[in-house]
Amino acid sequence: MEFADRVTRVEPSATLAISALASELVAEGADVVDLSVGEPDFPTPENVIEAGQAAMDAGHTGYTTSKGIPELRAAIAEKLRADGLDHDADDVIVTPGAKQALYEVVQTLVDDGDEVVLLDPAWVSYEAMVKLAGGALVRVDLSPYEFRLEPALGDLENVISEETELLIVNSPSNPTGAVYSDAALEGVRDLAVEHDVTVIADEIYDEITYGTEPTSLGTFDGMGDRTVTVNGFSKAYSMTGWRLGYFAGPAELVSQAGKLHSHSVSCATNFVQHAGVEALGNTDDAVAEMVEAFRERRDLLVDLFADEGVDVPVPDGAFYMMLPVEGEARRASGSASGGQPRVSDAKWCEGALEDAHVATVPGSAFGAPGYARLSYAASEERLREGVERLADEGYL
Ligand code: PMP
Ligand code: GLU
């Protein structure tokens, strides 16, 4: 069988692959501390589950209009308005997960050979989505700047040109947890406006920050008509398996992307959309509780690694942390054993899973070699256990 070039250009999702490996080990009876996949370990809030069940009972089991039920699109437009973005419900498309939203937007904007700029470390699927669309990747590395964007604006300026079709900005960031400052986002705005670049703002972690209020990129002057804002329900409301997300953008873009949406997924699941209305409207306390738990776990992990002599860049949002495991990254962390040529981050992660039964994702998968990404969406007890095992097996 001959396969299309577009699929042979990409690898399976590294995050999902490692999590599958961890699950296999668990099925074989191993006790794995799984810090790989980015999935909140809390149940979906009870009232959201009840809203989904009630919607099913009420017969909301057929197709919906392709763009999504009006109540949900109106609730999303209201959330975006509260963030300072001016979209009406018609400019919103509801998707089965933010991943599908990103996929559709990239397919809508990127032609063969079009340049797309990523800020590394970047979430694994951006690269694959761009490659599937035939785009050419241009990467700006934030690793030398402790993952901050502001000091990297000069590097971004060097690569953005009239050739740039699209820039993807993800704040708070997966995998670093960095929340980009307003000054950094203004710098992005200046470059995007100057070179007439469209920007995807992936704001799926916007509710999960620790003392820093992220600003939505589309709110900056000049960004309204060139920003596509992507968000979803997986992280803030712990709804990964429900598969619900959305994008909002200029009417023309939404109309073009809507064709792709209608010919691929038709619509997001009907009763799930009804649960989404409840999630947006009535979960403030549940979200605040989850965010507080994530903050405590972040602090705990930072302290536990410091006790082992490893300084990790302290994340301001999401539930990820980049652990320096090799070479330059390790040296910069001030680790006592830093600077020794160790194995690559992929080998480190492989070894940590086999020897310590701790699952993490290699930084290379995100364009950040020398690091391992840890998701701290796990209980404090498991985090302590994980760090202890890594230390005992000589991985710190
Ligand atoms: N964007 C980022 C940065 C993510 O980490 C994820 C996590 N899977 C997604 C988008 C997609 O999330 P989902 O499809 O579950 O809404
Ligand atoms: N976004 C999460 C992660 O990075 C979930 C898995 C995925 O979709 O990549 O781990």
Q: Per residue in 49-75, pLDDT tens?
A: 999 999 999 999 999 999 999 999 999
Q: For residue 106, how far is its CA from the centre of ligand 2 (angstroms)?
A: 18
Instruction: Report d(CA 273, CA 279) in Å as an integer.
Output: 10
The ligand 1 site (C-beta within 6 Å) comprises 38, 97-99, 123, 170, 174, 202, 204, 232, 234, 240, 245
Burial class of residue 154, CB neighbours in 10 A (0-12, 13-18, 19+): exposed
Q: For residue 85, how far is its CA from the centre of ligand 1 (angstroms)?
A: 21
Over residues 11-37, mean pLDDT: 90
Residue 328 pLDDT: 60
Q: Per residue in 227-244, pLDDT tens?
A: 999 999 999 999 999 999
Ligand nearest to the CA of 202: 1
Q: Per residue in 312-353, pLDDT tens?
A: 999 999 999 999 998 666 655 555 444 344 568 988 998 999
Q: For residue 99, how far is its CA from the centre of ligand 1 (angstroms)?
A: 5
The candidate with the shortest Cα–Cα distance to 328, out of 345, 316, 353, is 345
Q: For residue 102, how far is its CA from the centre of ligand 1 (angstroms)?
A: 9
The candidate with the shortest Cα–Cα distance to 350, out of 360, 337, 338, is 360
Q: Which of 15, 93, 104, 125 to mutate to test the pocket of ligand 1 (most atoms within 8 A of CB)?
A: 125
Residue 340 pLDDT: 41
| Residues forming a β-bridge with 199 | 167, 227
| Residues forming a β-bridge with 115 | 136, 164
Nearest atom in ligand 2 to 13's CA: 9
Q: What is the pTM of this model?
A: 0.95
Residue 339 pLDDT: 39
Over residues 278-288, mean pLDDT: 97
Instruction: Report d(CA 97, CA 244) in Å as an integer.
Output: 4
pLDDT over 80 at 27, yes or no: yes
Helix axes 345-356, 380-392, angle to 10 degrees: 100
Nearest atom in ligand 2 to 240's CA: 5
Q: Per residue in 210-226, pLDDT tens?
A: 998 899 999 999 999 99
Tokens representing residue 74 in the block:
């109106």
Q: For residue 307, how far is its CA from the centre of ligand 1 (angstroms)?
A: 32
Q: Per residue in 108-152, pLDDT tens?
A: 999 999 999 999 999 999 999 999 999 999 999 999 999 999 999
The ligand 2 site (C-beta within 6 Å) comprises 13, 15-16, 37-38, 99, 123-125, 174
Instruction: Report d(CA 238, CA 291) in Å as an integer.
Output: 11
Residue 43: DSSP 8-state: P
Tokens representing residue 105 in the block:
């937007």
Residue nearest to atom 5 of ligand 1 (CA): 174
Q: Which of 235, 242, 269, 375 to mutate to test the pocket of ligand 1 (most atoms within 8 A of CB)?
A: 235
How far is the CA of 364 from the CAs of 123, 323, 332, in angstroms? 11, 12, 17
Candidate from 10-19, 42-51, 306-315, 326-335 with smallest mean pLDDT? 326-335
